[in-house]
Copies of this chain bind each other. A is one copy, B any other.
Amino acid sequence: MTPKLRIDRTEATPLQDQLAARIRAAVAAGHLAPGARLPSARSLAAQLGVARGTVDAAYARLGGEGYLVTRGPAGTVVAPALRIGASPASRDRPAVTPPVASPVAPPWPRVLPFRMGLPALDLFPRALWARLVARAARRIGGAGLTYPDPAGLPALREAIAAYLAVARGVACGPGQVIVTAGYQGALALLARVLLRPGEAVWCEEPGYPLARQALAAAGARLLPLPVDAEGMAVPDAAAPARLAVVTPAHQAPTGVALSLPRRQALLDWAARRDAFVIEDDYDAEFHYVGPRLPALKALDAGDRVILAGSFSKTLFPGLRLGYLVAPAALAAALARASLLLAHGAPGLEQAAVAAFLAEGHFARHLKRMRGAYAARRAALSGAVAAAFGRSLALTAGPGGLHLLARCPEGTPAGWDTGAVARAEAAGLGPGALSAQFLGPARAQGLLLGFTNIADTEAAALAAALRRAVG
């Protein structure tokens, strides 16, 4: 029996193309078996309300493609020799089982109040950005249309090097800057260039889960090292490792700054062990209390530090742009990895961000955001303290984009993850401290992003969170 073939007159696609596509799909899906007879062109045309020539043309095309054969009086049939799809052997097999199967939950997470790791989406200068993007698009030339330089747009690499010299105390040339698809893209390049499967990587405990997952997926063996009030501690007799991944400015998620002695110990370890340190400098721009240390990379006379920066917090994450500052000897290998993993980043965003930096918008935007974040941080701190009283101990680090409300000792295991699930059900998006441990969680608490909570909403949202978590 012929399956129902429909066409849609509201589509821009020519009717004969639609019809041919429908027939191919019916054959591929097994609704039209090899040898099956199709309606005559005349009768199908009448049934569909199209000209007979339309059906003739579709049949002729499918004949040329080997799908259909015409058999005189027997009419048009699906090519009997056509063997579609699975062989008998494969029909007995179970469905495809992917070797790595950890699904992303659909739908893609909404931005809920308290979600950490995001800049203030309401304060981004969208009109200015749209102007710069439109200008970059209008000016696109042959160089912007062809394959991009996998190391990054030269103008952007220069703007980043100039910015880092002043803002982060990092002296580097544009040749050391590699543009990446954000921090995840940076880790993909570094893992490809520096890691062999099974090699060890030190990481902070607790620490940023997505970075650890990316490294593990790239074959790294993760060695968590505890974080205390001075940041990650480097034991004297530490196991050998190829890399250490740290967040020196504001440790993710505890917010503590890596102390100067710890920084020096880390550099010494890397030099002694021929290892590299990846400095995840994700939110160093947002510092509110006390002096801000320059980047660890600024102390790195031995060329053991690779600084990874991102525009996800300073501009917005949908850009998917970040950068590496690498020892000059690694730059070519990282560019090569970028060529093979993605062939570089799209030119349009790179050109717009280069203009954003070079024309002074970036410095102004950061200054404005530091002020706004300081205010939102203060407002939410006050509101959370008022709502939770002494049931949680609020610790605000010297900078960053979230608060940490620690649970008292003796809180039953699993409380914070349960609280987060209850909050999510109420439309709120805090994070759980215990979920940021690779090993057994040694602390619990709520991670509270303040960047997307206006001062005037803080009290109501803190109260709603208190009610939701119980």
CB–CB A319/B346 < 8 A? yes
The CA of A126 and the CA of B138, in the complex, are separated in Å by 7
Which residues of chain B are within 8 angstroms of A317 by Cβ–Cβ distance? 145-148, 343
In the complex, the chain B residue whose C-beta lies closest to that of A359 is B12
Q: Quick one: closest B residue to A269, CB to CB? A: B87
| A290 and B145 form a contact (CB under 8 A) | no
Nearest-neighbor residue (CB-CB) of A96 within chain B: B329
Q: Is the CB of A13 within 8 A of B363?
A: yes
Question: Does A405 reach chain B (CB closer than 8 Å)?
Answer: no
Count residues of chain A with CB under 8 A from any CB of chain B.
127
A329 touches B95 (CB 8 A): yes
Question: A182–B342 contact, CB under 8 A?
Answer: yes
Contact flags (1/0) for A324-365 with B, using CB distance below 8 Å? Answer: 000101101101110111111111110000000000100100
Question: Chain B interface: which of A45-53, A58-66, A382-390?
Answer: A58-66
Assembly CA distance A66 to B185 (angstroms): 33
Q: Number of copies of this chain in the oligomer?
A: 2
Q: Out of B147, B165, B274, name the residue touching A93 (CB < 8 Å).
A: B274
Does any Cβ of B come within 8 Å of A101's Cβ? yes
Contact with B along A298-340 (1 / 0, CB 8 A): 1111111000000010001111110000010110110111011
The answer for the CA separation of A343 and B25 in the assembled complex, in Å, is 33
The verdict on A343 contacting B184 (CB below 8 Å), with A133-B348, A271-B87, A329-B96 known, is yes
> Which 10 A-B pairs rank lowest in CB-CB distance, beginning with the nearest?
A85-B301, A86-B302, A64-B291, A90-B271, A103-B332, A134-B134, A181-B342, A108-B149, A24-B169, A25-B171
Q: Could you list 21 examples of A-B contacts with CB < 8 Å?
A: A65-B291, A66-B260, A86-B267, A86-B304, A89-B271, A89-B272, A100-B192, A104-B151, A130-B134, A140-B318, A146-B316, A146-B317, A146-B318, A147-B312, A181-B343, A184-B343, A210-B339, A213-B340, A317-B343, A342-B342, A349-B349
Give the B-binding residues of A (Cβ under 8 A): 12-13, 17-18, 20-21, 24-25, 28-30, 61, 64-67, 82-87, 89-91, 93, 95-104, 108, 111, 118, 121, 124, 126-127, 129-130, 133-134, 137-138, 140, 142-151, 165-167, 169, 171, 181-182, 184-185, 188, 192-194, 196-197, 210, 213-214, 217, 219, 260, 264, 267-268, 271-272, 274, 290-294, 298-304, 312, 316-321, 327, 329-330, 332-333, 335-337, 339-349, 360, 363
